[in-house]
Amino acid sequence: MQIYRLAALSSTWSEQDINKWQKKRKQGLVKFIMIDGVLKWGGISLTFFLIASHHTITLQRDNPLQHIILTSLIWLACAISYGYVVWTCTNRSFENRVKQ
């Protein structure tokens, strides 16, 4: 089994999937990471985490703002990593599909 297919945006690669990925691919890695990784995945995840942990973690800190900033930076690093992994795996899966 090709493990990279688990993190790819598509595993079946229909014509619609191919066209969608070709458009995203033309926009480039950085834009993909910023939009799909940081804004979509990271922003949503950070928001839910901060809401869920606000009372139990953030308010109990000596400096809640510092805690929010540190948490945001950690989520930013995770979101960039997520975007990069998804881009790499999707691109590899796409290239293998095109070769067939």
Question: How far is the CA of 23 from the CAs of 16, 29, 44, in angstroms?
Answer: 11, 12, 24
Please indicate, yes or no, if residue 2 is contained in any of the structural domains: no
Structural domains in the chain (count):
1
**What are 24-51's pLDDT values in tens digits?**
999 999 999 999 999 999 999 999 988 8
Please indicate, yes or no, if residue 4 is contained in any of the structural domains: no
- Report the run of H or E that residue 94 belongs to, with start and end: helix 64-99
Segments forming the whole domain that contains residue 79: 16-99
**For 66-73, which contacts have Cβ atoms below 8 Å and span 24 or more sequence positions?**
71/46, 72/46
Per-residue model confidence (pLDDT) at position 58: 66
Q: Which tokens belong to 55?
A: 């009372």
Please indicate, yes or no, if residue 7 is contained in any of the structural domains: no
Per-residue model confidence (pLDDT) at position 50: 85
Residue with tokens 């995840």: 45
